[in-house]
Amino acid sequence: MIQTTTTRTRTQIRMKSISNSSSSNSPRSKQEQLLGYQRSIFATLFLGYAFYTYNRKSVSYATPTLLANGLITTSSLGVIISCQNLAYAVSKFLGGVLSDRVSARLLFAAGLALSGGSTVLFSRTENSTVWALLWFCNGFAQGAGWPACAKLLKKWFSPANFGTWWSVLTASSNASGTLSPFLAAYVIIHHGWSASLVLAGLVSLLMAGVTLITLVDDPTQVRLPDPTVAPASSTKEHIAKENKNTVDEAKMTVKQLMASPFLWIVSVCYLVVFCTKTALSDWAQIYLMEELGRTQLQASSFTSALETGGFFGGILAGVLTDKMASKVRIRGNMRMMVASGFMLVCATGVYVMHTFLTTTTSQVVVSGVGMILGASMFGPISIYGIVASESFPAHLSGTAHAIVALAANVGAVAAGWPVSWVSHVWSWDGVLVVLQALCAASVVIILTTRSLHITHKTKTQ
């Protein structure tokens, strides 16, 4: 009797253990764990990329002080900015290729650590040649950030909301750009430009350590379901159709990708908006101080307004185009058509900045123009990246994005020394006229090439 009772007790314990194990591995439990990981990883990427941006712009925040103290000339500054942007252009392309071959977690952390280290070293010298070399290293490290983000987004989040997640993560750069100009201005005024760069570098080194702990490359590494896999179709016809599409997409080669007119349309438009954004971010402070008589704090508030507007514009672009792409049918790529509207607003904003802002214009109006410009620039920046990633076969989406990102960073390089040369030859008014013309030209390109657009509908049918 005692033996029978003992056996029954052991059986109950075993069954309870199996029940608990089964419960912990249930679909609902797995989904809850997946949601927790998604929140943690997205928060880490959001903060980490914000610190990438803080480092990338830390010298731009210090340039008015460096110029005022005679530590640097406008021409030398243009060379330093172009060195960073040139290295960023090359490394972002390489980063896109590397993200398919190495751990995105390690790539993200290594880039952030190297970027922070080069910023700290920049603060320790006053030699223009060394500055150019260090800022080249900084730009090279920066190129690891976004490719790693894109890789992790694709691994951890559903394609159905890819545009929204992409745009919200992009907004981390704007959040950083909104707050960091004020933080940098405060530190520079009270402790000097060197202290501002040391702060930017040290917090990035610290964040690099955090990312090594919190990021995970793939849900399968922690035995979680793959959120990118769509539910199986209930009909044989749909399955056959999906298989046919996979075979067709698999046939596309890199050579065919490079021959795609749509890829180059997106690339040219991305180049234009990135040139405009970088020029206004890097040089607007100097324009406002030299031409409109603003203080450094007032000029910094304009830069902050650009980023604030960009925060909302980038998110709006992703959410709006996600919804419109599934509901509205027009000739051409819906996301690109929305981007053309943003660029038209951008051209108008630069015109207003050039024509109507004067030394007596209210600072509220100046900041308002900055917010509109920020929203109209960062909206297309978000859209072009999404379009490049989703418009081509999965096995070439990383390459497609790397190509358009390379074009974008060529635009950023053009916003360095070439812009300083234009300002020297034709003044800052000439710079703003060139930017207006480029923005207007990109609108014309999008609207006149609609027959060449690749649409989401075309791709999935």
Domain CATH number, residue 346:
1.20.1250.20
What is the number of structural domains in the chain?
2
pLDDT of residue 61: 86
Which amino acid type is present at position 195? A
Q: What's the distance, CA 159 to chain centroid?
A: 18
Residue 36 has pLDDT above 80, yes or no: yes
Who's near 379: CB < 8 A, 6+ residues apart? 313, 314, 316, 317, 338, 339, 342
The verdict on 79 and 202 lying in the same domain is yes
Domain end marker among 200, 222, 244? 222
The verdict on 445 and 354 lying in the same domain is yes
Domain-located, residue 344? yes
Domain-located, residue 25? no
CA 297 – CA 210 distance, rounded (Å): 32
What's the CA angle centered on 442, arms 439 and 447, to 5 degrees?
135
Domain-located, residue 268? yes
The verdict on 69 and 131 lying in the same domain is yes
Q: How do residues 82-113 score in pLDDT, each as one tens digit?
A: 788 788 878 878 877 777 678 889 999 999 99
Residue 184 has pLDDT above 50, yes or no: yes
Residue 380 · residue 411 · CB < 8 Å: no
Who's near 199: CB < 8 A, 6+ residues apart? 183, 187
The verdict on 114 and 43 lying in the same domain is yes
Tell me the CB-side half-sphere exposure of residue 301, using CA atoms within 13 A. Answer: 13
The verdict on 371 and 430 lying in the same domain is yes
pLDDT over 70 percentage in the chain: 86
CA 174 – CA 306 distance, rounded (Å): 8
The verdict on 127 and 215 lying in the same domain is yes
Lowest mean pLDDT among 404-408, 414-418, 457-461: 457-461
CA 252 – CA 457 distance, rounded (Å): 18
The verdict on 350 and 293 lying in the same domain is yes
The verdict on 265 and 208 lying in the same domain is no
pLDDT of residue 27: 61
pLDDT over 90 percentage in the chain: 31
pLDDT of residue 6: 52
69 or 372, which is more confident? 372
Domain-located, residue 1? no
pLDDT of residue 143: 86
Residue 60 has pLDDT above 90, yes or no: no
Domain-located, residue 244? no
The verdict on 197 and 48 lying in the same domain is yes
The verdict on 57 and 111 lying in the same domain is yes
Domain-located, residue 24? no
Residue 242 has pLDDT above 50, yes or no: no
The verdict on 175 and 257 lying in the same domain is no
The verdict on 408 and 275 lying in the same domain is yes
User: Can you give the residue range of the structural domain that contains 49?
Assistant: 39-222
Domain-located, residue 460? no
Residue 351 has pLDDT above 50, yes or no: yes
Domain-located, residue 233? no
Domain end marker among 205, 222, 239? 222
Lowest mean pLDDT among 68-82, 284-298, 404-418, 447-461: 447-461
Residue 439 · residue 305 · CB < 8 Å: no
